[in-house]
Chain A
Amino acid sequence: MMAIFEYAPAPESRDVVDIKPAYGLFINGEFVDGSGPTFKTINPATEEKLAEIATATSDDVDRAVQAARKAFGVWSALPGAERAKYLFRIARIIQERARELAVLESLDNGKPIRESRDVDLPLVAAHFFYYAGWADKLEYAGFGSRPLGVAGQVIPWNFPLLMLAWKIAPALACGNTVVLKPAETTPLTALLFADICRQADLPPGVVNIVTGAGDTGAAVVAHPDVNKVAFTGSTEVGRIIARTVAGTDKKLTLELGGKAANIVFEDAALDQAVEGIVNGIFFNQGHVCCAGSRLLVQESIQDELLDALKRRLGTLRLGDPLDKNTDVGAINSADQLAKIRELSEIGESEGALRWSPACELPDKGFWFPPTIFTGVAQSHTIARDEIFGPVLSVLTFRTPAEAVEKANNTPYGLSAGIWTEKGSRILWMADKLRAGVVWANTFNKFDPASPFGGYKESGYGREGGLLGLEAYLDV
């Protein structure tokens, strides 16, 4: 069967992107050297070095914050309509350079080009368009129109450019200036974004990008002249940031981890549910904070659903992220791969049953096959801890009440999925689930017009939509 349906390779050309051997920090509209030691960013699919990246020390961060502070006077004084035009320009340039950005994102992150091209980039442009439109309409949103000042933003490696857009677009629309630190394993698209800011003639200092690891991020968060801190990442780091910001006047929003339940009832459209489950946990290699990592399936259809799911997993294609046929790309880093392996081994040692489709892994790079654990109990580590990889834990339930109980049995509260044909049950479930985003008969849908964010230890604040403005205004 494999032979009949084999696909010819369809590699995207990497010639569309010009990667420099080394990158500096982007401060006050210029690329400048960092004071810390450089580090390399690699292609996780091949372990090939892509570029040398500068490390910003606390002095460098200070320079960036000062540049942002100075630019704040100019930027916040601009009429909203003028700020809007800059954001529209940026959105347009992103569209113009979408292919280049998508290829670079896949090279640096390891995600399939199909996703960076068809999901990430359109959403990135859409975010800038959406918030561009708000810049001159803030008075209608109900939060006032006073910006906060300098926003310090720290973003993760799973959606490098999309997270940048989520942070920078609303901040700028509201009249703030930003110092953004991308993740150390995926800085390249943020640095290319700096070039986009220059092409758009954005005033210097409005956007500053400082690269580095945790220390650089900590310096951004702790800087006394930063008025607003926005972070997306792990709950563990979110806690540290909340402690750092305590006792200050800084406004804080946190988008943290999740352990979403994807709940499938016996009357669900099964094939659609299977697609939703696959999309829920194997999209972006499961490197998604709202990934549907706990499948709760009604006991009566467990076997049927699992058979269908395993069949579907057998058709997923893992490999070269730049191949347009690829469904599952590379794990972003060796560290992340080690974490996924460790948690999967714990899953086995605690008694859950592990299954993966026959799947050849490339020799080089960081790879992990799509994996399902059955026989998972709520007490198991893999049902409680976020794995942040392509690993699905399967649990069962008998009644809707039990499904709610199990779904909510987590300190997280970011997202959830419900699959059933019965409308009243969807609304009942959606009402009972303690999660910030509930997808009914769909999963992992995002849109700039739609607020996103969690309950409980998944953080606070919302990004996207009208409510996303609240985070960047002095309410």
Chain B
Amino acid sequence: MSRLSVRKTYKLYIGGAFPRSESGRSYPVTSPKGEFLANASHASRKDARDAVVAARKAFPGWSGATPYNRGQILYRVAEMLEGRRAQFAEEVGGGKRAALEAVDAAVDRLVWYAGWSDKIASVHGAANPVAGPYFNLSSPEPTGVVAIVAPADPLLGLVSVVAPVIVTGNTCVVVASEPSPLASITLAEVMATSDLPGGVVNVLTGKQAELAPWLAGHMDVNGLDLTGVADADLALRCEQAAADNLKRVLRPTQEDWTADPGIGRMTRFLETKTVWHPVGI
């Protein structure tokens, strides 16, 4: 007699916990061949608001952590992901070899970004030689809560948009890949067990068109990454809504996730603070 497997219920990831959608809704996720895989939570705008509250709450602690500490935690996420390669390869799907390569690339990307935590200020800050007796230094700081619409690529794409946002000290609310959200939720499990404080990353699964406009218009969101928005009209409406509180917006892009990412995704959601002080005795 064969054993019946115990399936996982895929839920949301908000404030370090895994709640179901408050709306009680779910939607079926299928493989590219059309086979049923699981019912994913269909997040509501209330879930999105809860996620923003969680991200805001986590911001002071995370942005106040030392860059060294943030780097350690991101590296820890990479370690935990490495340990679950096989599971992720299965969830990412496609050919086994390609899937494993994608997982490895995601691990490597996390490690790459982890190393940036204590270097970005040296590269993107400045000592300003002003004319006059003043000490003057510009340093980057996180902008706050960033809403991210993740690209379709459920693991490497997700890691590539989330890591640069959090390594610099921001917290985020992510709308996961709509057609293939399962790996994103499993990645949330990895993050939940990697010393990443609850609320730093919040993952919503559901409809992009339903969630993105609410996050774009949310007054307590400071940045908006529209990378995964394929619908030009939806992107336009989101960017327009973002103008209400002058969110920093990253417009939709088609990206090759295997290419060298550069530092643009980090600097997009950084502020620069310049501090002046007189010099004298």
Write the chain A residue with the least CB distance to B248.
Answer: A460
A contacts with B, residue count (CB < 8 A): 43
Are A437 and B274 CB-contacts (below 8 A) given A447-B131, A475-B264?
yes
Q: Which of B234-281 contact A (CB under 8 A)?
A: 235-236, 239-240, 242-246, 248-249, 264, 267, 271-278
Set of chain B residues within 8 Å of A456, measured between Cβ atoms: 222, 245-246
Set of chain B residues within 8 Å of A450, measured between Cβ atoms: 128, 130, 136, 138, 274, 276
In the complex, whether B126 has a CB less than 8 A from a CB of chain A is yes
B274 and A247 form a contact (CB under 8 A): no
In the complex, whether A256 has a CB less than 8 A from a CB of chain B is yes
B245 and A440 form a contact (CB under 8 A): no
Q: A413 vs B130: C-alpha distance in the bound complex, in angstroms?
A: 22
In the complex, whether A357 has a CB less than 8 A from a CB of chain B is no
B246 and A239 form a contact (CB under 8 A): yes
Are A459 and B246 CB-contacts (below 8 A) given A447-B136, A467-B138?
yes
In the complex, whether B34 has a CB less than 8 A from a CB of chain A is no
A442 and B128 form a contact (CB under 8 A): no
Q: Which of B131-146 contact A (CB under 8 A)?
A: 131-132, 134, 136, 138, 143
Q: A453 vs B276: C-alpha distance in the bound complex, in angstroms?
A: 14
Q: A235 vs B246: C-alpha distance in the bound complex, in angstroms?
A: 9
A457 and B274 form a contact (CB under 8 A): no
A246 and B276 form a contact (CB under 8 A): no
B contacts with A, residue count (CB < 8 A): 35
Set of chain A residues within 8 Å of B245, measured between Cβ atoms: 411, 456-457
Set of chain A residues within 8 Å of B276, measured between Cβ atoms: 437-440, 442, 445, 450
In the complex, whether A218 has a CB less than 8 A from a CB of chain B is no
Q: A239 vs B244: C-alpha distance in the bound complex, in angstroms?
A: 6
In the complex, whether A242 has a CB less than 8 A from a CB of chain B is yes
Set of chain A residues within 8 Å of B17, measured between Cβ atoms: none
Query: Which residue in B126, B143, B240, B278 is a CB contact (below 8 Å) of A467?
Result: B126
Looking at chain B's contact residues, the main secondary structure is: mixed
Query: Which residue in A243, A436, A442, A466 is a CB contact (below 8 Å) of B243?
Result: A243
A465 and B275 form a contact (CB under 8 A): no
Set of chain B residues within 8 Å of A243, measured between Cβ atoms: 240, 243
B128 and A447 form a contact (CB under 8 A): yes
Q: A435 vs B244: C-alpha distance in the bound complex, in angstroms?
A: 19
Q: A439 vs B232: C-alpha distance in the bound complex, in angstroms?
A: 42
Are A451 and B272 CB-contacts (below 8 A) given A247-B239, A440-B277, A445-B132?
yes
In the complex, whether B123 has a CB less than 8 A from a CB of chain A is yes
A457 and B246 form a contact (CB under 8 A): yes
Q: A142 vs B222: C-alpha distance in the bound complex, in angstroms?
A: 25
Are A247 and B232 CB-contacts (below 8 A) given A142-B123, A411-B245, A445-B134?
yes
Set of chain A residues within 8 Å of B131, measured between Cβ atoms: 126, 447, 449
B242 and A242 form a contact (CB under 8 A): yes
In the complex, whether A462 has a CB less than 8 A from a CB of chain B is yes
Are A465 and B128 CB-contacts (below 8 A) given A247-B236, A441-B278, A447-B136?
yes
B273 and A246 form a contact (CB under 8 A): no
A455 and B236 form a contact (CB under 8 A): no
Contact with B along A451-475 (1 / 0, CB 8 A): 1110111011010011100100001
In the complex, whether B24 has a CB less than 8 A from a CB of chain A is no
In the complex, whether B95 has a CB less than 8 A from a CB of chain A is no
Q: A449 vs B277: C-alpha distance in the bound complex, in angstroms?
A: 15
Q: Which of B60-96 contact A (CB under 8 A)?
A: none
Set of chain A residues within 8 Å of B136, measured between Cβ atoms: 447, 449-450
B246 and A451 form a contact (CB under 8 A): no
A436 and B273 form a contact (CB under 8 A): yes
B35 smallest CB distance to A (angstroms): 38
Q: A426 vs B275: C-alpha distance in the bound complex, in angstroms?
A: 10
Write the chain A residue with the least CB distance to B123.
Answer: A142
In the complex, whether A182 has a CB less than 8 A from a CB of chain B is no
In the complex, whether A238 has a CB less than 8 A from a CB of chain B is yes
Write the chain B residue with the least CB distance to A249.
Answer: B251
Set of chain B residues within 8 Å of A449, measured between Cβ atoms: 128-131, 136
A256 and B246 form a contact (CB under 8 A): yes
Choose among B243, B267, B278 the residue with the greatest number of A CB atoms under 10 Å from its CB: B243
In the complex, whether A254 has a CB less than 8 A from a CB of chain B is yes
In the complex, whether A430 has a CB less than 8 A from a CB of chain B is yes
Supply 4 further A-B pairs (C-beta < 8 A) apart from A449-B130, A450-B130, A475-B264. A239-B244, A437-B273, A438-B276, A449-B131
Residues of A at the B interface (CB closer than 8 Å) are 126, 142, 235, 238-240, 242-243, 246-247, 254, 256, 411, 413, 426, 430, 433, 435-442, 445, 447, 449-453, 455-457, 459-460, 462, 465-467, 470, 475
The 5 closest A-B pairs by CB, nearest first: A242-B243, A246-B239, A447-B130, A247-B236, A450-B128
